[in-house]
């Protein structure tokens, strides 16, 4: 190659303590012949210097690529006698600081480069990247490099954030701890139990503030492990819990969402109590209590399915319901594909066409994609006179849409959404009360006015709306943390960001995210 000793050391400053003898260009690689220049070398066992050479040999080191080509350092090293009679070593091999360590086949510079690639990309993606950088290594080598890296000792965080993540959703969970001042993860726990969190807090005293979600395990662990710490409930989770309560209330008042003609918009009597009693109602209440008892202990949905012999979707439905009465509430008919064609069907009925099959053919040409059975049921109801064909239904907003209108601030709603919501609130006093409660709670949350929490809880209980009363009861159980969350500046946003990054790392590793490997990548990664 056309470069001298000085130029090469400028490109590779970690070779400054070597004497470069020759540089060979081998096409796809560069070989550097070098030797050590120190006259005396200290023994790594006792520290005594020695100049008596025992023997010499050549070791080959892979180094960082030079000019996009693989770089090999053929280093001639010496073995020395140790002159200290008390030293357990009789001979030792000289090492070049910053370049070599005992038994290594790669330079420290290349090892650091591969470690950075492994932490950022993992096994297979890291191996592909290393191959592009002219340093071909296997995926298992990169994983071994990660596992060989020391785990940093967790430091005490004055403001600590904690949240859970899933190793396998519904089955096994862990916990991530974040320093809220630096917004960096400081440790991972192999489970989400309160006892494990409390033990960690006792081993790392000094935490003054704990930012968490509404999970009871972290609340109990914080009380036991750091009783003097201030617990802060995350505002996003408070708003999420409120949204869930509002969604259940809106679904319970589904009948109030439909626009009706003035002569038909009369109050419907409440369902008789006999519909909410009986064997199935009792079984629903019992299952709801069992699911929530296990859920409160931190048991995953899959374990609950096995313990209670229930389907996964059934367990989720019971877990999301604040009370068993929400599951027993009667539901009004849902929207149908025929709703947008009712006007045409009424017109054809009045013209004398009453054949369901013929009407279905005509609807197919208009874009109807439903079944003939639905048309036949509607025509049969018209024919028997149970439902007169004289009023076409108006498009009804979905409960999720109405929930979004109520949760969003008024200035974020469109004119049409505001008009539709106003009509719904005029028809239903309970939804109108819910809208006022949501507006007041959102004001407390956005402006951090926790001093009004007692008044809001009292108003929610006085409204006698089951869903809002259940939400208020949950606030009372976690009163101190909720009030701190509505008053202090701390929130769990940084924790949620760390969890998202952890999920990306876990999915990137294609099932190889064992706890030790995942912990190192999260704590040591960029």
Nearest CA to 496 among 221, 117, 236, 152?
236
Summarize pLDDT for 339-369 with one digit per residue, the tens: 778 888 888 888 888 898 988 998 888 888 8
Q: Write the CA distances from 506 to 130, 178, 306, 342, integer angstroms.
A: 21, 18, 26, 51
Predicted pLDDT of residue 265: 39
Strand residue runs (E) in 108-241: 159-168, 172-179, 184-189, 209-212, 230-233
pLDDT band at residue 483 using 50, 70 and 90 as cut-offs: very high
Average pLDDT over residues 234-263: 82
Q: Which two tokens stand for residue 249?
A: 């209330």
Nearest CA to 488 among 263, 253, 229, 243?
229
Predicted pLDDT of residue 178: 94
- Does residue 281 surpass a pLDDT of 70? yes
Token pair 């539709």: residue: 420
Query: In 3-state terms, what secondary structure has residue 10?
Result: helix
Summarize pLDDT for 29-87 with one digit per residue, the tens: 888 888 888 888 999 888 889 889 999 999 999 988 887 888 888 999 999 999 888 88
**Residue 76 and residue 34 in contact, taking contact as beta carbons nearer than 8 Å:** yes
Summarize pLDDT for 151-181 with one digit per residue, the tens: 888 888 899 999 999 888 878 899 999 999 9
**Other Cβ atoms within 10 Å of 451 Cβ, number:** 11
Q: Which two tokens stand for residue 134?
A: 């002219």
Predicted pLDDT of residue 96: 87
């Amino acid at each position: 190659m056309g470069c001298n000793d000085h130029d090469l050391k400028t490109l590779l400053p970690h070779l400054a303590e070597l004497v470069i003898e020759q540089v060979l260009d081998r096409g796809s690689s560069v070989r550097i012949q070098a030797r050590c220049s120190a006259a005396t070398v200290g023994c790594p066992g006792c520290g005594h210097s020695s100049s008596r050479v025992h023997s010499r040999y050549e070791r080959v080191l892979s180094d960082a690529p030079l000019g996009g080509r693989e770089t090999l350092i053929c280093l001639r090293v010496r073995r020395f006698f140790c002159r200290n009679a008390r030293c357990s070593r009789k001979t030792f091999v000289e090492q070049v600081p910053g370049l070599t360590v005992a038994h290594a086949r790669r330079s420290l510079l290349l090892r650091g480069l591969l470690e950075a690639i492994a932490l950022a990309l993992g096994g297979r993606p890291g191996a592909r990247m290393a191959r592009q950088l002219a340093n071909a290594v296997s995926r298992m080598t990169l994983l071994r490099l990660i596992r060989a890296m020391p785990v940093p000792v967790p430091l005490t965080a004055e403001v600590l954030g904690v949240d859970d993540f899933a190793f396998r959703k519904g089955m096994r969970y862990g916990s991530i701890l974040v320093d809220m001042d630096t917004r960096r993860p400081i440790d991972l726990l192999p489970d989400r139990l309160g006892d494990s969190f409390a033990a960690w807090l006792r081993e790392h005293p000094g935490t003054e503030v704990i930012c968490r979600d509404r999970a009871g395990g972290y609340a109990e662990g914080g009380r036991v492990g750091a009783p003097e710490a201030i617990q802060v409930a995350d505002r996003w989770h408070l708003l999420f819990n409120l949204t869930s309560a509002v969604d259940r209330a809106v679904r319970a008042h589904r009948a109030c969402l439909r626009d009706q003609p003035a002569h038909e918009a009369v109050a419907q009597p409440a369902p008789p109590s006999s519909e909410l009693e009986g064997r199935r109602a009792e079984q629903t209440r019992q299952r709801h209590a069992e699911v929530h008892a296990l859920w409160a202990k931190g048991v995953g949905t899959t374990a609950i399915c096995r313990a209670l012999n229930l389907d996964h979707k059934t367990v989720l439905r019971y877990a999301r319901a604040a009370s068993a009465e929400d599951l027993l509430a009667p539901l009004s008919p849902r929207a149908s594909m025929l709703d947008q064609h009712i006007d045409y069907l009424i017109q054809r009925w009045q013209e004398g066409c009453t054949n369901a099959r013929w009407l279905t053919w005509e609807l197919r040409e208009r874009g109807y994609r439903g079944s003939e059975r639905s048309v036949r049921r509607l025509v049969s109801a018209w024919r028997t006179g149970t439902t007169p064909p004289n009023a076409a239904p108006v498009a009804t907003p979905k409960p999720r849409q109405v929930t979004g209108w109520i949760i969003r601030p008024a200035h974020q709603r469109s004119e049409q959404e505001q008009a539709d919501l106003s009509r719904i609130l005029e028809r239903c006093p309970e939804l109108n009360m819910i809208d006022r409660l949501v507006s007041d709670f959102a004001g407390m949350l956005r402006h951090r006015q926790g001093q009004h929490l007692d008044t809001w809880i009292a108003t929610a209980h006085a409204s006698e709306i089951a869903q809002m009363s259940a939400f208020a009861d949950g606030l009372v159980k976690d009163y101190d943390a909720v009030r701190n969350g509505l008053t202090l500046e701390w929130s769990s946003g940084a924790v949620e960001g760390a969890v998202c990054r952890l999920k990306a790392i876990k999915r990137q590793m294609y099932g190889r995210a064992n706890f030790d490997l995942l912990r190192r990548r999260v704590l040591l990664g960029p």
